[in-house]
Structure 1
Amino acid sequence: MHEARLYQKLEDNTIRCSLCAHRCTIREGKQGVCGVRINRGGTLYAATFGKIIAEAVDPIEKKPLYHFLPGTLSYSLGTIGCNFHCEHCQNWHISQQTLEMEALRDLTPEQGVERAIGSGSASIAWTYNEPAIWHEYPLAMGTLARKKNLGTVYVTNGYITEEGLNELAGMLNAFRVDIKSFSDTFYRKVCGGRLQPVLDATALAKELGMHVETVTLVIPGQNDSMEEMEALIRWVLENLGPDTPMHFTRFHPDYKMRETRPTDIGKLEKIYERAKELGIHYPYLGNVGDHPYENTYCPTCGSPVIERSGYAVRVTGLKDHTCTECGGRIEYVSEIR
C-alpha cells in the first residue's frame, strides 16, 4: 500500500487524518469515514492509490464545467469510497463500496497521463466519487499532467481541509464543487457532514487561483426554498464573484430518496432568474434537456455566445473572450498555462 500524506501519529498507534474536514481519529486496524484511508501499525495508508473502477472520456460539459476549456474532452477517472453518505447519491454503487470490490483495477499515474493524451483529451478529471479522499493519486498524476499541458479537474463535494487544498494548489486547475445546500442541518442529516468547511474550501480554492464552478442539486422539500437559494447566491457573489458559473440542476429519485419527486422545471427557472437579478453573470440549469438556460449569454448585452444541446457545444457569438455583438468580456478558461 501507498503511505498517505497529511496525518499525525498519536499515542497507542492511533493516528489523526487531516485531509478532509472530518479529521478522523483512526485506531489501529480501522478506516476513516471515507473507508479507504487505513491505519496499519500506526501508519496511515491510502488504500486506493493507483486503483480505479471507472474510466471514460467525457465532454468537459458533463462535469458540468461550462467555462473551463469549453467544447473539449476530459479523461475521467473514479475509484471507490466517499467522505459523505448522501441519501440522494447518484453514484452510490461505487461511492459506498468497500475495498473488497473485485472490479478495482490498477492504473499508475504515468499510465493515466498517457491514456489522457492518447484519447485527445485536454484535461484529466477525478470524478464519479470524491477525489479528495484519493489525494495522493490525483496529486501524483496531476503533477505529471501539468508538465504535458493537460488541465486538471476535481469534481468534488468540497469537504477538504486547508492543508489538503494547499497541497493541490500548484497542480489543480479547476475546482467544480457541489454546494449541496445552504443549510447546515441539511448537510448533517442528508450528507453526514457540515456546510462551513465546504464554503471555506471553496473560497480558498478561488483564492489559490483555481477556476471554480458551483453545482446545487435542487431537491423538492429539502433545499429548494427561495430564501435558501438567495442566501447561497449572495454568498457566491460576496466570496467568489459575479463571474462564477452557478449550476442549478434537476433532482431525480435515486438511492435512499426514491420517493421524492423530480424538481419542477418552473422552480428551477425562478431560481435561475433570481440569480440573474441578484448579479450572477453565468447561472445555468442542468438535467433539463435542451433548455435555453443551458446557454451562455453575454452579461453586458444578453446575446447568446455559446449554445448547448446536451453536451454538444456551438460557439455563436464569441471571439476569444469577447462578445461579437457588443464587445463585452466573457470570462472563461480557454487554455492551460
Structure 2
Amino acid sequence: MNYPGRYWHKLDDGRIQCDLCPRFCKLHADQRGACFVRMREGEAMVLTTYGRSSGFCIDPIEKKPLNHFYPGTSVLSFGTAGCNLACKFCQNWDISKSRDMDRLMDSASPDEIARTAVDWGCRSVAFTYNDPVIFAEYAIDAAQAAHVHGLKAVAVTAGYITETARADFYAHMDAANVDLKGFTDDFYVRTCGAHLQPVLDTLTWLVHESDVWVEITTLLIPGLNDSDKELNELSHWVATELGTEVPLHFTAFHPDFKLTEIPHTPAATLTRARRIALEHGLKYVYTGNVHDTDGGTTYCPGCGKAVIERDWYEILDYALDDDGACRACGTRLPGRYEHFSAPFGSRRIPVSIHRQRSSAHS
C-alpha cells in the first residue's frame, strides 16, 4: 500500500511539485519522480516504499562510516529501492536503481525494525544503501520508533534535500554521514546528475544549526575528483566553513555500474588526500575501503597519542574513557561516546526482520 507523502504542493497548471529534494519533480497523474519511489496518486503525493526494505544487516558503526559516533558498537542497517541522484559510480546500484521493487522488498514496520535492533544488541539504526531522503516519511517514523526503544538514528545520505524538508527530516536523526561526491559542480552534473551547492548548504546547516553529529565521506575516483586542486579546495572549504573537528573520510572506488573502465583507487591516492586535508588543519581525516592502520586511526589532538587504533572496521586498541576523553592527557574528542565491553568488529550479519533473536552473538 502506498503511504501519504509530505513535502509537495499543487501547481496552477494542475501538476503537483515534490518539494523534498532540489530536483523539484513536477508530476502529472500517476507519474513518478526521478527517485522512482515518490509518485502522484490522484491529487496527492505518495511514497511507494513505506515499510518495504531492501534488506537488513548488522554492521559495525565504523562501516557507515562513523568513527566518532559510539565507536565499537553495532548498527542495524537497511534501505529501500530508488535514489534521487544518478551517480554513474553507484556501488549499491542494484538497490538504488531497482525498478523491480517486489524482488527486493522485505516488509517491516518502524516498530519491528526497532525491536529487532534491540534484540540483536545494536546501539543504533541506520538508513543506508540508498538515500533515506527519498523515503523520508519511513525513515522519520523508524527513527522515532528507535528513540522509543533507546536507540539512535543514523542517516547515510548524499545530503540532497531542500530547505523545506531539511529541518523536519534531521530533527529525528542523531548522526549523519554525508557523501560529498566531489567539489566541482561539473562533477556533480556530469557524474551524479545533481548540483554541488545544495549539498554544501545541507552540510553547513547540519554543522551550525542542528544537533546532529556529522561526518563526511568522499569517494575518490581516479581522474574524476582526485586532483590536488580539488582536494585542496574541498579540504579548505571543510576547514573554514564547517570547522577543523568535522571528521572527513576519503574512501577507495572500485569499478562498478557505469564506470567499470576506471581502475580501483590506489592506496597512495587516499594517503595523498589525507595528507592534503591534514595540511589544511583538519584534525580527523581517515582513509577507507583499504587496510591502512595509520589512516584509520583516531589521534588525540592534545598529545598525539593513538586513542582509537583501527584496521578497516576493526578496532585494535581503544584509549578513551566513557566521555570520549584521552586517557593519557584528558583531552576530550568531539563525537558521541559511551562505555562498551568489546568492539563489534568487522562482521556483517544479514538478519530477517521477522525472526527475533535474543543476541547479536547467538
TM range (shorter): over 0.9
- Offset at 1:277? 1.6
- Offset at 1:267? 2.1
- Offset at 1:180? 0.5
Please tell me whether the aligned partners of residues 13 and 42 of structure 1 are also in contact (alpha carbons under 8 angstroms): no
Q: How does 1:134-153 map to 2 (within 5 A)?
A: 134-153=135-154
> Aligned partners of 1:86 and 1:317: how far apart in 2?
39
Residue of structure 2 equivalent to 1:225: 227
Please tell me whether the aligned partners of residues 54 and 128 of structure 1 are also in contact (alpha carbons under 8 angstroms): no
1:132 maps to amino acid? V
- 1:304 counterpart (295, 303, 306): 306
- Offset at 1:291? 3.0
Residue of structure 1 equivalent to 2:203: 202
TM-score (norm 2): 0.90
- Offset at 1:300? 2.3
> Aligned partners of 2:316 and 2:266: how far apart in 1?
27
Q: How does 1:10-49 map to 2 (within 5 A)?
A: 10-11=11-12, 13-49=14-50
Whether 1:69 aligns to 2:36 is: no
Q: How does 1:94-243 map to 2 (within 5 A)?
A: 94-206=95-207, 207-243=209-245
Q: Which has the higher contact order (CA 8 A, sep 6+)?
A: 2
- Offset at 1:317? 2.6
User: Compared with structure 1, are the counterparts of its residues 314 and 291 closer, same or farther at alpha carbon in structure 2 (3 Å cutoff)?
Assistant: closer
Q: Which deviates further from its counterpart, 225-234 or 310-319? A: 310-319
1:292 maps to amino acid? D
- Offset at 1:12? 5.4
Whether 1:289 aligns to 2:318 is: no
Q: Which deviates further from its counterpart, 57-66 or 90-99? A: 90-99
- Offset at 1:239? 2.2
Offset from partner CA, 1:175-231 (integer Å, 9 cap, x none): 100000001000000000000001101111222111110000111110011111111
Offset from partner CA, 1:260-288 (integer Å, 9 cap, x none): 11122222212111211211010000011
> Aligned partners of 2:48 and 2:196: how far apart in 1?
27
- 2:331 counterpart (312, 328, 333): 328
User: Compared with structure 1, are the counterparts of its residues 272 and 100 closer, same or farther at alpha carbon in structure 2 (3 Å cutoff)?
Assistant: closer
> Aligned partners of 1:171 and 1:157: how far apart in 2?
17
Residue of structure 2 equivalent to 1:50: 51
> Aligned partners of 2:229 and 2:256: how far apart in 1?
26
> Aligned partners of 2:313 and 2:267: how far apart in 1?
19
1:333 maps to amino acid? R
Whether 1:245 aligns to 2:259 is: no
User: Compared with structure 1, are the counterparts of its residues 335 and 23 closer, same or farther at alpha carbon in structure 2 (3 Å cutoff)?
Assistant: farther
Please tell me whether the aligned partners of residues 74 and 123 of structure 2 are also in contact (alpha carbons under 8 angstroms): yes
Query: Which secondary structure does the structure 2 equivalent of 1:323 belong to?
Result: coil
Offset from partner CA, 1:305-333 (integer Å, 9 cap, x none): 00112322144332232222333221121
- 1:264 counterpart (263, 266, 274): 266
TM-score (norm 1): 0.96
Runs ≥4 in structure 1, deviation > 3 angstroms? none
User: Compared with structure 1, are the counterparts of its residues 127 and 100 closer, same or farther at alpha carbon in structure 2 (3 Å cutoff)?
Assistant: closer
User: Cα RMSD (Å) of the superposition?
Assistant: 1.5
Q: Which segments of 5 or more consecutive residues in structure 2 lack a partner in the other structure? A: 340-362
Aligned length: 336
